[in-house]
Structure 1
């Protein structure tokens, strides 16, 4: 058993109790991690709020233990948190995030379940070479799709573009930087023609880490912007989309963990 408190996540394996969780729901936003814990889990315990990386131990309605944790924004922060979560015994991670659609049919308010990612992320390059596939676990992904169908959530399954920056990397022109490098001009249209569904900032590195570290990873993201129309976040539909993404992840986790504990 690991017997050290980890520097970034702020807790150790012993803090997880006699029946430790093996599945974590991972959110970039600490408020989302708190929302998941406080509204969807039972007997919640705050493990740590070190560095704003809030982590909560709780239980699903079926009694299975689960972690709701914060990865921070972007792949470098996520890579640290995931490394330490794996060291305390987490073997399945579902990212519950937000994203911007780059396809006309992927509407704000819906959710995107990523089966793979185009990975344009520096952190991932320290973990595996560029050619290494960034693919989600098929069993976790199917569980998310089934959960979305059961809940009646508008959902889309496909490839995400994982990039390191919110502004330049996603070809946003409305920013403090008046100059966009030529290599990024037109990148959104190119990705659209490649049938990529959305922009986000963590999946590619998470999926590559899963392959190298040998854990299972999947992702469900709330669509909060429609980049075929505007660069702006559509706030009136943001909360609905996030709640649908959370509900889908919780339902999938209940199915996955129930099956595990029945074996």
Structure 2
């Protein structure tokens, strides 16, 4: 049934949902890649659609910015709408010297500075990770397409604007590929629900040098990431 944040009914969502921070990217995917499309959510402007890609039912929806936002939507999708797999198609800021704008990053795990995981009462430090079955399929798709990609850990932070890059430099020193704001929350919700998740990230900028794409390009040009996610979804 509908929730305070998703105005859909049981069966409105496919078993696999692609999610982007920007709801207009979800709209772009629905309009340009899916057939037999139905809009299943418009509450708070967080657009969600269900359609078919290569004959397989797939959904796509926005999740907003930051761990609190993505965790509300993914919790409801996993627990109230019977979704099994969520693939985040987002952007990230590169940390390593060998990563360029528009490269793809497949997030194996996600460091974080959020307190979201404290609710679980786990002893020690919880390490949220991707579902390997989805990760392997997606990486193979990238390899087949011949695109530039990197596989490793990312840093999910609650802070977008910061007076210093020192915090990112230390994560860079430990081999972290990029910084973004949602993956750890997605992976925690998936683990808690016993479901599957993967973040595929397109590099939008570099934190330590000038190398970036425009906001318009973030909405409409990240086709490698989108198509790899869709091709992975039809195999799930």
2:69 matched to 1:89? Answer: no
Matches within 5 A, 1:152-167: 152-167=146-161
Displacement of 1:156 in angstroms is 0.6
Matches within 5 A, 1:30-109: 30-61=23-54, 63-86=55-78, 87-109=80-102
How many corresponding residue pairs?
Answer: 233
Q: TM-score, normalization: structure 2?
A: 0.92
* Structure 2, gaps ≥5 residues long: none
Q: Secondary structure at the match of 1:221?
A: strand
| Residue 240 to residue 223, structure 1, CA distance change in 2 (3 Å) | farther
Query: Matches of 1:128 and 1:73 in 2, distance apart?
Result: 25
Q: Secondary structure at the match of 1:115?
A: strand
Q: Which residue of 2 aligns with 1:8?
A: 5
Matches within 5 A, 1:72-221: 72-86=64-78, 87-127=80-120, 129=122, 131-168=125-162, 173=163, 186-221=166-201
* Structure 1, gaps ≥5 residues long: 174-179, 258-263
| Residue 128 to residue 136, structure 1, CA distance change in 2 (3 Å) | farther
Largest Rg, 1 or 2:
1
Displacement of 1:36 in angstroms is 1.1
Query: Matches of 2:121 and 2:53 in 1, distance apart?
Result: 34
Q: Which residue of 2 aligns with 1:225?
A: 205
Displacement of 1:234 in angstroms is 2.9
Alignment RMSD, CA only?
1.9
Displacement of 1:141 in angstroms is 0.6
Write out the 4+ residue segments of structure 1 that deviate beyond 2 Å after TM superposition: 122-130, 232-241
